[in-house]
Structure 1
Amino acid sequence: MLLAQNDDVALPKLSFGMLNLIFGRSKSVTINEADPSYKCIYLGNVITPWAKNIESAANTLWNNHVRRQVSTQMKVSLTRQGIKAWTEQHGLTEYWASRITFCAVSPQQPSMFCWVYRHETTRNLKQELRCHAVLCSKASQMEDQLQQRLCEALQEFRREKIAAQRARLLTGHTNARRQMLSTGTSNYRRPRVLKLDSIEETIEATPEDDNDNVSQESGYASVSI
């Protein structure tokens, strides 16, 4: 009877917290976060002489928007490479990190996010500064995230440049494998387009041309002076 009573004794119930202490608790770590994207209204761009100031350009863009009332829907993604913008009319437009000189929220309009970009004209290959602006309810969040990503891209670019310079000084040549795996340069700067040199066409002589040359040479040789 005593043995039967001992078998019927119920074991104490373990709570979820006690199970975590006994078996441990798994933690999830995010290695690469997804690039934030925002739905905005593009207000256009204007030429500006200031690389670190947006006040006058932002006022001009806002006045043009109020007068025209033309809105262009744009999806803006903030990455380490810079800004990626999508519109139905123009598709994808990339603004590279090395050419973004400044970004901030307009002091007069808290929902207006602006950035100054150094464009390169196609005619004379001259550079000009243009201020772009979008309307978004999370403009201040866009400013913080873009500044953080631009700072990270610049630090990674400098770190890889210093590492490549040290390796070149020690070994006398660059490491091709390290150069292929490096991402700082590709993230910070726009990849260069290789220029093709002029190719000279060589005309191969056909058998008929060879026969003509032989006949001409034989004709010249048969002439007696």
Structure 2
Amino acid sequence: MSRAALLVLADGRFPAGGHAHSGGAEPAVTAGRIRDAEDLAAFCRGRLGTTGLTAAALAAAAARGLDPLELDEAADARTPAPALRTTARRLGRQLLRAARATWPSAELEALAAARPRGAHQPVVLGLTARAAGLTPLDAGYCAAYESVSGPATAVVRLLGLDPFEAVGVLARLAPALDEVAAQAAACAERAVDEGTGALPAPSAPLLDIMAQAHAEWPVRLFAS
């Protein structure tokens, strides 16, 4: 295993399409829920403990070797908003293209054949981590970090927020990221014996509602 592979996978410049998505930050900014760095920190902390944990556990489970098709169904069940399901599969399809070129594996090829329109992004992320020789904990870290780094980057563009303040928000979230990644890896280990029902499914109803409304906007800066 090369731990450097985690740096490549988590790099925002990895061509997986995440730069076009705000993780719910765009509608939150428009609604006045994010106005400054303090609001961004609260938004990211809430997202990390809900959809971030769910994504991290799915990614860790895929890296642990659970059936990615079963995990994809579990991801569907944990994503009630149609707009978010569409986004997750679009991002999964883009990530899978990049992953197959970067870390070719039979498992990635099999998933591409089984889900030609895209699997959920966290599942693809975990399988990509597995192909890169990374651990379930590594996959959990990557998914958890993505859940907050996307909104932080988006808010810099949406509000003109000082990038130093945005990075500071992410840095102060480090202990929470550690906790979420560890919990995700532990849940993935339990799921080996107990199935996908052992994976967490915390909800964020306001994110679902905002995502559905955002999908109908005629003009927007981000795809989601």
From the two aligned structures, give the one with the greater helix fraction. 2
How does the TM-score come out when normalised to structure 1?
0.23
From the two aligned structures, give the one with the greater strand fraction. 1
Which of 1 and 2 has greater Rg?
Answer: 1
How does the TM-score come out when normalised to structure 2?
0.23
